[in-house]
Homo-oligomer: A and B are copies of this chain.
């Protein structure tokens, strides 16, 4: 479960590697603390020191190359380096924060308030967002199969809205589709959904009224249902949600664009579960460097024949759960492999983050 938005007090006493990493604050520091313990990485990072047969070695320079080619390459590289060194960049607020329910008569009560806000996707870049509880993605709802749940929606938007629980097999009246299962919830109104959670898995909630606009502007979040009977993969060391989006806010992971995306930090040997969710309009084939992913569930349903990959195509509305055995130390690029979603002449941007495996 994500812990990245615990209280400051929590953060101060925290000892997990993730928290430590977030405090160090720059990719460079990260690399210094992790990857550069490796002989090979040191050699690569310092071209003046050939490393022999075991690592990357920068060779001698061909002096026939013109000075102008070199200086234009230097200028481009400086931009790329600047983008990379800014990672992970700080922004004011993160989305997908775990939402603690109130417990009322054995019912887990969640309140969601929709509002128009300014959202910082990367340092200094603010976009108009329509948000649940002032976050994009909205807060993470996490419950257990069989739980009784109440979700109270307060609509403070200038448009009507409604909440669809994408993937949950609810009674029809709770399905959140305006003019099919309920009237629209007008500006200023509230609406209460209540149900017993029917099926486990990685699900989502989002607007189902004027949805191309409303979901595009941020009315979306993760709805995770833990199974009653735990399976083989239900107690990973790290459990991450990665919501892909490509709407009005640009190319984002959990509402942030590189370098403001948040790296996943694991210790060597840990078991990582990633829950991919696509809330955008395009496919995003997610490529992890250095280790493969074992695909274990589709839309919350376990696969009887899991399969391995390093590039997983995630289409709009889909959820895919994967396991990564973090057995390869270092800082690994992790990005959409539609390259124009991840890199431009100015360096990496958009759908890029990293998996850091610390020795």
Chain A contact residues, CB within 8 Å of chain B: 27, 31, 35, 38-45, 47, 53-65, 69-70, 72-74, 76-77, 80-81, 84-85, 107, 150, 152, 154, 156, 158-160, 164, 166-167, 169-175, 177-194, 199, 208-213, 215-216, 281-283, 285, 287, 289-292, 298-301, 303-311, 313, 315-319, 328-333, 337-340, 342-345, 354
Contact = CB atoms under 8 A, between A and B. Distances in A.
Given A173-B56, A180-B354, A307-B301, A188 B64 contact: yes
B210 A179 contact: no
B158 A72 contact: yes
Nearest to A210: B345
A183 B44 contact: yes
A337 B308 contact: no
B181 A292 contact: no
B80 A209 contact: yes
Q: Is the interface of A mostly helix, strand, loop or mixed?
A: mixed
Contact of A188 (B63, B189, B289): B63
Given A63-B188, A191-B56, A173 B292 contact: no
Contacts of A41: 171-173, 181
11 contacts: A35-B180, A35-B181, A40-B172, A57-B192, A58-B185, A80-B210, A85-B179, A171-B330, A212-B342, A212-B344, A318-B337
A38 B174 CA distance: 11
Contacts of A85: 179
A212 B339 contact: yes
B159 A76 contact: yes
B210 A47 contact: no
B317 A285 contact: yes
A17 to B, nearest CB: 16
B178 A58 contact: no
Given A45-B182, A354-B180, A61 B189 contact: yes
Give the one of A180, A299, A342, A343 with max B CB within 10 A.
A180
A28 to B, nearest CB: 9
B339 A191 contact: no
A81 B38 CA distance: 60
Nearest to A148: B53
Give the one of A186, A215, A344 with max B CB within 10 A.
A186
Nearest to A40: B173
Contacts of A184: 73, 77, 80
A311 B318 contact: yes
A11 to B, nearest CB: 25
Q: State the 10 A-B residue pairs at the shortest beta-carbon distance, nearest first.
A: A172-B330, A317-B337, A65-B188, A40-B173, A59-B190, A301-B308, A62-B188, A305-B305, A44-B182, A84-B179
A315 B305 contact: no
A313 B310 contact: no
A63 to B, nearest CB: 7
A31 B70 contact: no
B340 A212 contact: yes
B187 A73 contact: yes
A98 B3 CA distance: 49
Contact of A172 (B54, B186, B329): B329
Nearest to A294: B301
